[in-house]
Amino acid sequence: MKFVDEAKIFVRGGHGGAGCVSFRREKFVPKGGPDGGDGGKGGDVIFRAAQTHHTLLDLKYRQHQIAKNGGHGSGNNRTGRSAENLEVVVPPGTLVKDFETGEVLADLAAAGQTFVAARGGKGGKGNAHFKTSTHQTPRFAQEGMEGEERILLLELKLLADVGLVGFPNAGKSTFISRVSAARPKIADYPFTTLSPHLGVVKHKDSPAFVVADIPGLIAGASEGLGMGIQFLRHVERTRVLVHLIDISEETRTGAWKNFTAINRELENYNPQLLDKEQLVCLNKIDLPAVRGKVKKIVAQFSKKGIMLHPFSAATGEGLQDILGKIVTLLDNTKNFEP
């Protein structure tokens, strides 16, 4: 399934039905009064978050969501049928914004939450409502009210406990494939991950947690370079960031420069991202070129007050220790609210 995390849509509530102009016509009742019924209410457009959906793909190609109109009133004081509401299902974690102003109208962070995006119009009153002692034959009725309409921007921010960040080819996809049932594409070239992947991880007796594999960042991602800006929103709801560092290639500028470069992009995008618990890990220690530098790099980070955790996602060396650290950090952030 194609992953789509943004959609622009038009929503409109149903129009209310028109009131009826009618007069009572019965045998032996020569002067029947007005009996026009009211129009029915138009349907509302309602967003509902559900676990059955994981992408905004449906709305990307169905950009007009219009509820049905209410039925018109009729004689004998019969009210028109009210239209059914139009329910639009979205994934949990969907932000509903006004497209024109950018105002956040709703944050459907949990399954079951709903938001009325466009209310249907009220039905018009029939002529029976307008009879008075001095005007007993009103020959007019109200039109139904129009439904609300607006253009909305939907943004999906994945709900995950842990977000994997790092440069392209740092081993994020290999990591999530080793610790969960997720099977992202893995290859030895940059940007093999083109969309976020979620994996459920169970470590020993601890509660299961969800890990999000975020496509690789590059310097300038917060300014729109590469693919980073497109997916950085998905780390905003995470409780813990696992920062994977890779120095296996000669083109890498060094562990500390890699670390600071990624954190700079996170800060430029949203300074609050640096307030999250961050587990810093040196990956690919199974490679001789990396293993020979581990002690030196760990000491370098230690001088900066940061504990660096060496491991290999490919062979699993040190992986259980990483998972244990993640569980501990998650325990320390139980009261976190995205």
Q: Which residues contact 35 (CB under 8 A, 6 or more apart)?
A: 22, 23, 24, 75, 76, 77, 126, 128
Instruction: Report the predicted TM-score, pTM, of the whole model to 2 decimal places.
Output: 0.69
Contact 162, 330 (CB under 8 A): yes
Cross-strand partners of 115? 47
Q: Which two structure tokens, joined as six digits, stand for 331? A: 């325990």
pLDDT tens track for 205-232? 888 888 888 776 655 555 555 555 566 7
DSSP designation for 26: B
Give me the residues paired with residue 122 across strands.
none
Per-residue pLDDT, 3: 61
Q: Which of 222, 227, 220, 224 is nearest to 172 (CA)?
A: 227
Share of the chain above pLDDT 90, in %: 47
Quickly list H helices, the chain.
57-61, 172-179, 228-231, 255-269, 288-291, 294-303, 319-332
Identify the pLDDT of residue 157.
80
Q: Which domains does the chain have, with CATH numbers?
A: 1-156 (2.70.210.12), 162-332 (3.40.50.300)
What are the residue ranges in the chain where pLDDT is below 70? 1-3, 181-195, 216-231, 250-253, 334-338
